[in-house]
Amino acid sequence: MLKVDAQNGRLAGKIAVISGAGSQGDGIGIGKAVSLLFAQHGARLCLIDMIHDRAEDTRRRVAEIGGDAFICAGDVTDDAFCECAVAETVKRFGRVDLLVNNVGIVGPTGRLDALDMDLWDRVIDVNLRSALLMARHAIPAMQAGGKGAIVNISSIAGIRAHGSLAYGPSKAALSHLSAELAVLYGPDGIRVNAVVPGHIHTPMTAGLLSQEARDIRCRVSPLDSEGDGWDVAFAVLFLASDEARFVTGQQIIVDGGVTATGPMVAVQLANR
C-alpha cells in the first residue's frame, strides 16, 4: 500500500463510515480493502465491526500508511447503535460524506421444510436491515453537507439463484433498496449505488469453500480466476469518488464475467 495522499487523493477531505471493516484472521476481506483504499486516497474513517479486534487490525493498518480512523464496535442491526456511530463520526470529524454498507452473512441452505426461521430473520436483518438503518442516520448528516454517496455491497446471488432461501433474496432486496434510495435522495445531492461481487476469495469464503470448489469457480470464469477484496474495493472507490458524480441507482458487477456467461458455456469452461 502507498502512503495516504490527503491533499490529492480521490477522496481527499472526505469522511467515510464503513461497516464490516474488519476481516477474519490476517487476510484482506472487502471491508478491510475498502478501508485501506479509502484511507490511501485521503478519507478519514469510522470503522464499524461487531468484533473490536478485527476493526483494530484494520485501524492499525490504516495508521501505518498515515491514515486517520477510529472504531465503533457494535451491531448494525441495532438502530440505536447505528445512530450512535454516525453521531460519533460527526462529533469527531464534523460531518459524513460517504457510507459503505458491507456487512453480510450467508445463512441457511436447504429447502423450506428445513428452514430455521430465526436464522432467516437474522440474515435479513444483517444483510438488509443494517443498510437501511445506517442510511437512515447517515443521510441527514449528508444532507447537512449538501451531498453524499452510499455504496452497498450486494452479491451476484441476488441476480441468479444460488440455492439459498435467505442470502440471495436479502442481496436482491439490498440492490433494489439502493435504487429506491437513489431516487428518493438524489434531489438532496446523495448518490446511492451497489457493487455486486461474485466469486471473490476473502477470508470469509476461505472457510466455506474447498480447493476443488475454488478451482471450479476459476474455470467457469471467462478470466479463469477468482477475484479478491481489492477488486471490489476499487469499484467502491470509483462510486464513492466525485468521478462518479453522475452515477446513481446503478449496480456494478465485479465477478470476472460469470453472470455474463450462459449455462452451456459455463459447463464448457468448467470442463476445459
Catalytic (active-site) positions: 167
DSSP 253: E
The answer to whether 59 and 71 have CB atoms below 8 angstroms apart is yes
The 3-state secondary structure of 75-138, one letter per residue: CCCCHHHHHHHHHHHHHHHCCCCEEEECCCCCCCCCCHHHCCHHHHHHHHHHHHHHHHHHHHHH
Q: What residue has cell string 437512515?
A: 136
Q: Residue 86: phi, psi to the nearest 5?
A: -70, -45
Name the residue type at position 45: L
Integer Cα distance of 174 and 155 in angstroms = 9
Integer Cα distance of 3 and 1 in angstroms = 7
- Does the CA dihedral 258-181-43-9 come out positive or negative? positive
Q: What residue has cell string 460469470?
A: 258
The answer to whether 232 and 197 have CB atoms below 8 angstroms apart is yes
Q: Which three cell numbers stand for residue 51?
A: 468484533
3 state DSSP class of 48: strand
Integer Cα distance of 207 and 136 in angstroms = 33
The answer to whether 149 and 98 have CB atoms below 8 angstroms apart is yes
